[in-house]
């Protein structure tokens, strides 16, 4: 998910997207622990998406 896409979402949508993305990250980590993922770089991209969304939420809270 790109930063420009994140900026277009409302706060409620961001919170929903954050919880979905965190769940996806946990699921990927568990799957990777059991058997290696075909593309382990997925973990990095999902983790960074979580950070991008959380950063945007924090930025909006400070305004």
Return the CATH class of domain 3-62.
mainly alpha
DSSP string, 2-49: -HHHHHHS-HHHHHHHHHHHHHHHHHHHHHHHHS--S-THHHHHHHHH
Global pTM value: 0.91
Per-residue confidence of the chain (63 residues) as pLDDT tens digits?
Answer: 899 999 999 999 999 999 999 999 999 999 999 999 999 999 999 999 999 999 999 999 998
- The per-residue pLDDT for 15 is 97
């Amino acid at each position: 998910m790109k930063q420009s896409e994140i900026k277009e979402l409302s706060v409620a949508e961001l919170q929903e997207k954050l919880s979905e993305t965190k769940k996806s990250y946990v699921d990927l980590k568990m799957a990777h622990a059991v058997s290696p993922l075909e593309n382990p770089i997925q973990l990095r991209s999902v983790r960074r998406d979580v950070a991008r969304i959380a950063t945007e939420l924090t930025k909006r809270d400070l305004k």
